[in-house]
Amino acid sequence: MTLRNIAIIAHVDHGKTTLVDKLLQQSGSFRDNQRVAERVMDSNDIEKERGITILAKATSITWHDARINIVDTPGHADFGGEVERILNMVDGVIVLVDAAEGPMPQTKFVVGKALKLGLRPIVAINKVDKADARVQEVVNEVFDLFAALDATDEQLDFPILYGSGKNGWMSLSPDGSHEEGMAPLFELVLKHVPEPRVEEGPFRMIGTLLESNPYLGRLITGRITSGNVKPNQMLKVLSQDGSTVESFRVSKIMAFRGIERQPIEEGVAGDIVAIAGMTKGTVADTFVDPAVTEPIKAQPIDPPTVSMTFMVNDSPLAGTEGDKVTSRMIRDRLLKEAEGNVALKIEESSEKDSFIVSGRGELLLAILIENMRREGYELAVSRPRVVFQKDVSGQTLEPIEEVIIDVDEEHSGVVVQKMSERKADLVELRSSGGDRQRLVFHAPTRGLIGYQGELLTDTRGTAIMNRLFHAYAPHKGEIPGRRNGVLISTDQGEAVAFALWNLEDRGPMMIEPGWKVYGGMIVGEHTRDNDLEVNVLKGKKLSNVRAAGKDEAVRLTPPIRMTLERSLSWISDDELVEVTPKSIRLRKAMLDPIERKRADRSSKTA
């Protein structure tokens, strides 16, 4: 049976996972009467809720006498570490591009990595049935993108397919026949993508994806570079510096057959398999026959650009909602995450019971926190900070991102103004069809933290922002932070509706009557730029006067709903987000008002 290994890469929401659904259906991977969830590859809860792919996943399709291994990749730049690793498992890529939006930042990021590895792309223009599709312009944009990324002549001579992943068809022309379904794509993969490169020698495989199975323990997925592997065979694990991590006996070899993972009797060179049996081996390690001494070199991963401090929750409500609260438990969970996610870096902080976690973006860290709270963890996290670097001369460098904002023409002025306040440079402005403009900026990551919500408010929810790490550049100077102060609770107890009603003219609230509060907890946003301590526990003084209209029901303005991402981007440097399985609370880092004033005075005199 002939083998092909391909990855599907595209920007977020361009339809990768939906396309894989149709490929699985039309290849006969499902029974006729089998009930299958939509976007079957998005398997974890957060992926289903948000409709985004977070983890790279493999599947396998049989078409006539060939087996095609397909890897579905994330579309968010924050999960770029997942994409960079899996490209060494495949021999070709399908670049999926929306017929209306064209190539976007994440497309550019991943295509650049794929072209450097010498992979030959197939371009699939998706959603050609959309009303605002501009098929020929998008094809030209893709060609210009490939040329700008220094593609070879062979890579520039890419085949193009047109179709609709949702409706389950692909064709060689935009107005081609729909009757063949996905057959043209299958045929093109077999014709255009080369067979897996196989080297001579004993068994070698580089670990690409790590997961934990309740029955088999650690499972490492990768492509076999050379040799074969069978159950009960002895293997050893080499780290990138060539030292031996461990030796182990293979307990099981698993391979994808459709969406099911099945045990196989032998893994052959070129195939993508998962191996069980090791206890320490991890991503980027090389799994080899005991006779081999040289590891396979792993692709370098782009450095993290954003860091946050994770610490033990020390608020008065600590331990009331979660059962995993100690620093040891948090540390073990973070180290376990870092094993499988190479884009994460964990360091012990100089402060007690806290850890510095660095990653590619706020979304990557927010997903980690969300997963932890669902598992029963309770912790406090700081505002995201950018990771600075020093150049040879000692000058401070900061991460700069390429930001693409699609916005209605009437709102472009306010977007340019707000971005320039954040020290962003406008590098391109062009029409993107239908009275919309595409603005391209180079902006410091510092200035973008917390801007997403403001952008949606300024543009009445019509703007779409995409970000991608561009480069490290000299520090751009001070960027103004949040303009408003906060309302801080003075005491511990349950919030009272009457007190909240009396405080409404001080600013919008973030809590509801009956919510538990404590001294130092943030309960609302102040209308002015200073912080204000307020009493949200103060009930109405009772009297024996009963006049008509005297005791009308208190009508409260609905509070601001602070989601995890919004909280992380909204807080200041002296504030924390308290995360528990049931609640997300905002608080001051120092709960004691006297300590806060002392710290504030010392920072002003410094």
Distance of CA 277 to the CA centre of its chain: 29
The verdict on whether residue 536 carries a ligand-binding annotation is no
Count the neighbouring beta carbons within 10 Å of the beta carbon of residue 540. 13
Taking the alpha carbons at both ends of the chain, their separation in whole angstroms is 72
β-bridge partners, 212: 218
CA-based torsion, 99, 102, 106, 107: positive or negative = positive
Q: How many helices (H) and strands (E) does the chain have?
A: 15, 33
The verdict on whether residue 15 carries a ligand-binding annotation is yes
The verdict on whether residue 285 carries a ligand-binding annotation is no
Q: Which CA distances in Å does 374 have to 218, 323, 514, 579?
A: 22, 11, 24, 10
**What is the C-alpha separation between 506 and 472, in angstroms, rounded?**
41
Q: Which of 235, 216, 212 is nearest to 224 (CA)?
A: 235
The verdict on whether residue 18 carries a ligand-binding annotation is yes
Q: Which of 207, 258, 272 is nearest to 236 (CA)?
A: 207
Place of tokens 């994409």: 83
The verdict on whether residue 14 carries a ligand-binding annotation is yes
The verdict on whether residue 605 carries a ligand-binding annotation is no
Strands 120-126 and 160-164: parallel
Distance of CA 234 to the CA centre of its chain: 36
Place of tokens 């906060």: 486
**In 3-state terms, the chain is what percent helix, strand and coil (to 5)?**
25, 30, 45
**What is the C-alpha separation between 175 and 129, in angstroms, rounded?**
10
Q: Where are the alpha helices (DSSP H) in 344-411?
A: 362-374
Give me the count of residues in the chain: 606
Q: Vertex 456, ends 452 and 457: CA angle to 5°?
A: 115
Contacts of residue 180, Cβ cutoff 8 Å, sequence gap at least 6: 169, 171
The verdict on whether residue 592 carries a ligand-binding annotation is no
The verdict on whether residue 484 carries a ligand-binding annotation is no
Tokens read off for 582: 């049931």
The verdict on whether residue 113 carries a ligand-binding annotation is no
**What is the C-alpha separation between 601 and 537, in angstroms, rounded?**
29
Tokens read off for 572: 């200041």
The verdict on whether residue 138 carries a ligand-binding annotation is no
Q: Is 93 helix (H, G, I), strand (E, B) or coil?
A: strand
Q: Which residues of 238-248 are buried (b: 16+ CB within 10 A; e: fewer)?
A: beeeeeebeeb
What is the number of alpha carbons within 13 Å of residue 315 lying toward its C-beta?
33
**What is the C-alpha separation between 15 and 27, in angstroms, rounded?**
18
Cite the annotated binding site by residue number.
Answer: 13-18, 126-129
Cite the annotated binding site for GTP by residue number.
Answer: 13-18, 126-129
